Amino acid sequence: MLLALATLLAAGSVAVGWRTRGFALFGASLFISVLLFGTGITLFRTWDHPKLQPVAVLRSGSDSGMIGYYIAETAASVYIARLDVESAESRPLVEALPHIVVVPRSSVAAIAVGALMEHRAGLRNASQLLHELCTDKVAEPVARESGSVKGASESHATSPNPCPPS
């Protein structure tokens, strides 16, 4: 497919060179052809081997965490592409039925985002990131009710680790 694109772009540049006088239009057509070919290579490579960033998120409360692929985050939310992990290991990404989950920032106890990688390796990496977050014993501040925690300073009052025991 890339060979066909290269041939088409080269033929277009040669046709512009034969039909115009001077180098300006021919040079512009060569420049545009090189840009289009580079774009085509990038699109084909991305189509065949998408690169995604794995993410692990621990939420407040008794949560076992969630893994997926990082999409974006704002001041109010974190956006994650979640997959059915069992089907994602054996199927291509498009058949694993990804869906977008919006996690409110107020419920996030910890988040870890990995480097760009192939989607199956990304799922394994996301599981490792979640395990690392859980073993780091992430604790979050507890909102104190009036007089419920006596003698403890607000900065030292924490909730238990949101991960289940191993």
pLDDT digits over 31-52, tens only?
999 999 999 888 888 777 778 8
pTM: 0.57
For the cut 50, the answer to whether the pLDDT of residue 147 exceeds it is: no
pLDDT digits over 93-124, tens only?
555 567 888 999 888 888 899 888 887 788 88
pLDDT of 153: 38
Measured CA distances, 112 to 47, 53, 56, 69, 133 (Å)? 26, 10, 5, 11, 8
Contact call for residues 59 and 66 (beta carbons, < 8 A): yes
